[in-house]
Structure 1
């Protein structure tokens, strides 16, 4: 668990695909040197799904804790998120309050817990 071998295996079997994005003509000022769509901390949190919601234009984000430790998770988005709602595994709303400040979301994840979030973007 400490070597995070599960994460390395996941990364090898499911590599991310990079896409070059050009600066839209409507964007003012200089382009940032680097930008991340989603930054996830700490490393024991694994993103297992990022997709468009079935019933709306929202984004579904699923993540899990992989080492058996209760964890304070920090998600930093590279885009504006208007609202966040926690869902169950079949994407039905739960009554859990999720607070986002700016473009950063913090939440507690129990050992080996799977979290599904619906992101309303603008």
Structure 2
């Protein structure tokens, strides 16, 4: 039997140890009173895994693009062999995405043509601008791309170019939940512009910007 320990009330969520170190007493402050919950660690079937990556470089962490290297470790590139894709690869890669939800489905599309040995689907030219999302839009068949400024400690402004390997006819800036951002709310000189298949825009320190591609 575990003896009850004195409880220190705190604002928000906190914990106090019991006599058995495998247990924790959690104190939840709610509008209707205080709730106490005892969690037994030995009943949890949870494992945590940590990944470390060591690499050599010249200069400081900025020159080494450490945030980008860390993101590559946390989210490694997933590759799948393809014999071809539906539509004309030079300008209609979006057709393949609309036809199939996964790369595996795309691999078996009936309309197939050979693809080049190397081609970039989307590329960012700034070392401190990183893509955090590139996905299908929630409410239509467009694509959503989200880019953020990655120098977390101090931050550094950037004029960004995003180059697409497919045709883009229209770009609309969105907020975090994919609603169009009114042009009147944008800061002067920060507007995005589409020139061919290149999207140009400005990133402030620590800024995140989201765009709908159509």
Q: TM-score, normalised by structure 2?
A: 0.51
1:8 and 2:81 aligned = no
Any idea what SS the aligned residue of 1:82 has?
coil
User: Which residue number in structure 2 is paired with residue 51 of structure 1?
Assistant: 135
Q: Which has the higher contact order (CA 8 A, sep 6+)?
A: 1
Kindly state the Cα deviation for residue 111 of structure 1 after the two structures are TM-superposed.
0.7
Which 4+ residue blocks in structure 1 deviate beyond 6 angstroms? none
How many residues matched?
120
More helix by share: 2
CA distance in 1, matches of 2:156, 2:208: 13
Distance in 2, Cα, partners of 1:64 & 1:70: 11
More strand by share: 1
Q: Which runs of 5+ in 2 are unaligned?
A: 1-60, 89-113, 184-190
* Superposed counterparts of 1:2-81, under 5 Å: 2=62, 3-23=64-84, 27=88, 32-67=116-151, 68-81=155-168
> Matched residue of 2:170: which SS?
strand
Which of 79-88 and 89-98 deviates more? 89-98
* CA RMSD of superposed structures (Å): 2.3
* Higher-Rg member (1/2): 2
Residues 21 and 71 of structure 1, relative CA distance in 2, 3 Å threshold: same
